[in-house]
Amino acid sequence: MGTCERPFAWSEIHHLIPWARGGDTDLDAIPLCSWHHHRAHDPRWHLTQHPLRGWELRARERRSRRPGRPQG
């Protein structure tokens, strides 16, 4: 069921493939709570589907900042 700890009853169905591209099957639909669902649609986050372990949501890496560099 993925990494979400919310009760299943709270979940919303998220389609990995938009309907516009023909993703109207059960295979691409996964239950997410609204917290994870919002992030699944956020370009800063990346949702990966695992065949056996459900899904995983990760924040994309940012390249804009370097850690620990003093200015000047």
The binding site for Zn ion (CB under 5 A) comprises 4, 6, 14, 33, 35-36
Min CB(69)–Zn ion separation in Å: 35
Least Cβ distance, residue 62 to Zn ion (angstroms): 22
Closer by beta carbon to Zn ion, 44 or else 66: 44
Q: How far is the CB of 64 from Zn ion (least distance, A)?
A: 27
- Give the closest residue to 57 by CA, choosing from 68, 44, 66: 44
H or E element at residue 15:
strand 12-15
